[in-house]
Structure 1
Amino acid sequence: MELARIKESVEYVKGILNDEPEIGIILGSGLGVLAEEVEDKVIIKYADIPNMPTSTVKGHAGQYVFGKLNGKKVIMMQGRFHYYEGNKMETLSLPVYIMKNLGVKNLIVTNAAGGVNTEFKPGDLMLINDHINFAFNNPLMGKNEEEIGPRFPDMSEAYSKDLIKLAKDVASKLDVDVKEGVYLMMTGPTYETPAEIRMVRALGGDAVGMSTVPEVIAANHCGLKVLGISCITNMAAGILDQPLNHAEVIETSNRVKNTFIKLVKEIVKSM
């Protein structure tokens, strides 16, 4: 991602905000409702920001929401961009670099995912402890901007162990049952075949989805600490022998939204 394009986007957003956010939050499919909890909010449409693509998926509002959540200054992506929408992989890194340049230090990345681990069930929340990149592409391909981060970023702790422990402690205090596992990204937009899901399980994946990995790579590149949370909205293909559809994803997200909101708000408060 060219530094000049990032700076142009950042300057536009800084011209609207009068404060620095501490925590960035990316809201996945059906999870945008958390943005309604933000106080003193300032909304910036992606369409108004130079160099930003538009979010085309139903359930993704397509805007930054800045304000306070449980006393902490946050900036949320209410809706994200996906590789399958035709975006270049490097484009998916731009919102993360914007947040970093605004002052964000910790990033919470959420998504809706299919459960591969047969001990999971729809409605479970999974803390991501690692990922597998099956998009076979990387947002850092091409010229590296040393001002952003190193040419070869370390990914041995892509998801912060400290933030995972914090999230577990918060979940325990709230009596919220959380799972933990590995997220595997496929490009989509098709759901995976049963044979592909058997492969994912053999490779060590616990959940599968079509997002998150590019943003997490970018976050590690620029030095953000990451906490990842997957909402298991359905069991992946072949596990329950039933067809998959996006409506089910949104329906399950809505069903668990109160638990999700309660958990994330308390995590933010504890950061």
Structure 2
Amino acid sequence: MNNTDAFQLAGEAADFLRSHFSVDSIDVALVLGSGWSSGADALGEPVGEIALGDVPGFSKPVVTGHGGALKLVRTAGDKVAAIFTGRTHYYEGRGVAPVVHAVRTAAKWGASTVVLTNGCGGLNPAWAPGTVVLLKDHINFTGDTPLLGATFIDLSEAYSQRLRDLAHRVDPSLPEGVYMQFRGPQYETPAEVRMAGILGADLVGMSTTLETIAAREAGLEVLGLSLVTNAAAGLGEDHLDHTEVLQAGADAGPRLAALLGDICKEL
């Protein structure tokens, strides 16, 4: 799919959602990754909900632990927020456009801010499973991009300093780190994790960076939040298992819900 078609499809999706919810414009979008969906109900007063698979350009999430709904809420700060409880991952093999479709749809629907969340492996031994880390930068190791042609987007502040300051006001204990996206779906090897650390990464995962690039192209401010679900390969005693990711998310659920709710009040 070329970008003209991709942007047109995002526009169609936004028009569909405007009509479905009778809401002309939203203020913020949240994409909830592994472990984060339990926080959706704490983000504000419900306005409505629709299955993602019913919206043009979206499909049902294929990963256990991801929801399959788009929820619209009005936050305590009187902002209209669209919450995507699932995402399309690059490793599904459908190309980049479906991965960033939610971000582009949110932009077409009027959003000025997007909050991107994920579950990830941690390289810092001080960050135990359940730690939430603010993203201050990323390394896109997919070898791909949502941009086509001579589309030169400045990523010197991919993750908004203003929004990071806001998050620190909500929770001063939040550490900051650099997230590195691998293609997946296999987990990283211990050697790849060591490489990631040498390159400057604090976190490794399989999402977020492509969405951030598309968001910055669309002029959105980005806040990135990672939940450390496990020590990255070679840094812990256990082998990696997706059930571990799900359990870490479930255990951290109440804190994630409270944190997202407090951040949404301030956005």
TM-score when normalising by structure 2 = 0.93
Structure 2 counterpart of 1:21: 26
Q: Which moved more, 1:261-270 or 1:196-205?
A: 261-270
- Following superposition, the deviation at residue 171 of structure 1 comes to 0.1
The aligned amino acid for 1:56 is V
Structure 1 unaligned spans of 5+: 145-150
Pairing partner for 2:58 from 52, 58, 73? 52
8 Å Cα contact 1:23/1:74 also seen in 2: yes
Alignment of 1:58-97 (within 5 A): 58-70=64-76, 71-97=78-104
Secondary structure of the 1:76 match is: strand
Tell me how far apart the structure 2 counterparts of residues 134 and 239 of structure 1 sit (CA, whole Å): 20
User: CA RMSD for the aligned pairs?
Assistant: 1.4
> 4+ residue runs of structure 1 moved beyond 3 angstroms?
none
Secondary structure of the 1:218 match is: helix
Q: Count residues with an aligned counterpart.
A: 260
Alignment of 1:112-151 (within 5 A): 112-141=119-148, 151=151
- Following superposition, the deviation at residue 41 of structure 1 comes to 3.1
Structure 2 counterpart of 1:11: 15
The aligned amino acid for 1:55 is P
Tell me how far apart the structure 1 counterparts of residues 67 and 125 of structure 2 sit (CA, whole Å): 32
Secondary structure of the 1:178 match is: coil
Pairing partner for 1:196 from 192, 205, 214? 192
- Following superposition, the deviation at residue 7 of structure 1 comes to 2.0
The aligned amino acid for 2:9 is R
Structure 2 unaligned spans of 5+: none
8 Å Cα contact 1:128/1:227 also seen in 2: yes
Structure 1 counterpart of 2:228: 232
The aligned amino acid for 2:119 is A
The aligned amino acid for 1:116 is L
Q: Which moved more, 1:35-44 or 1:259-268?
A: 35-44
Tell me how far apart the structure 1 counterparts of residues 256 and 8 of structure 2 sit (CA, whole Å): 37
- Following superposition, the deviation at residue 47 of structure 1 comes to 1.4
8 Å Cα contact 1:117/1:205 also seen in 2: no
Structure 1 counterpart of 2:38: 33
Tell me how far apart the structure 2 counterparts of residues 6 and 269 of structure 1 sit (CA, whole Å): 27
Structure 2 counterpart of 1:223: 219
TM-score when normalising by structure 1 = 0.92
